[in-house]
Structure 1
């Protein structure tokens, strides 16, 4: 079972949980609140609902962050990729996608600049290649962790009965820039 909560929101009840017993008890209490999970609560048999073992739970908190993916230190380039420099909540499933995209763009930058030393200018060229995508993923992901905008909730409801709308929403996962624009309605202003 997976519960993702807005920090300090009504479902953010797992702070300070340190043991499997406390986690299991809190999960029982949270799921039993039928106003949040009525379909799930109706399917649970309390006597058989629980963790398989004391290691069978995970709790974490993620603050989305974007770092410039390179630094020059003592004339040495230090390059980062993926979650080490672009950390987002997993709600949109773009952790691996972002890491793969960044790795591909490093490769493309190296090909484009194969005659140049990898220096601050080439590093900046790489960052400029990935910045719009990374910002889009992060801002879209952050928007997904908030209450959905009315127009997005309407689109999702329409998609349940309309294949063309569902297909348009599915494209968001291949092109996070479109998803971000759908949610926020304005173009990206890379930092």
Structure 2
């Protein structure tokens, strides 16, 4: 059983685990409490009900997401385009590995707490940072929005296609080629 000071974090982690196993539909106060090994009243006490717990879990989700994006950004990349592609792949991988959490994160962003808004904006800022060097003479906000929409769509399509994959999408790089052509190879 978690100590009193660690209980909120234990409840949030129990929620993250439950989302990974059962999706958003499985997230209830009782299930989270049971998973954390505490009284069913504990989540309601610490988070003022399910809405507060969902916000806290979504905030933690964006923190985990940021870590995945930062890891991709830190990996050696041959070019800014390759770095962006690594970040987009991390985005899609996160969505696939954390189906329920990813869904909850973007459901809760509709009416975010201050902490959730900050975590979501920081995540987007990391993505934006990777797009900026590729804008050239184009409006960076337009390019960023187009690439983000495609990356997010790929994440969502990857999730919905888990059970029945009737359509196999091309690799994300093929879409990226439409917006940012491959960089020419260096002369030999």
User: TM-score, normalised to structure 2's length?
Assistant: 0.29
Pick 1 or 2: higher relative contact order, CA cutoff 8 A, min separation 6. 2
Which has more helix, going by share of residues?
Answer: 2
Larger strand percent: 1
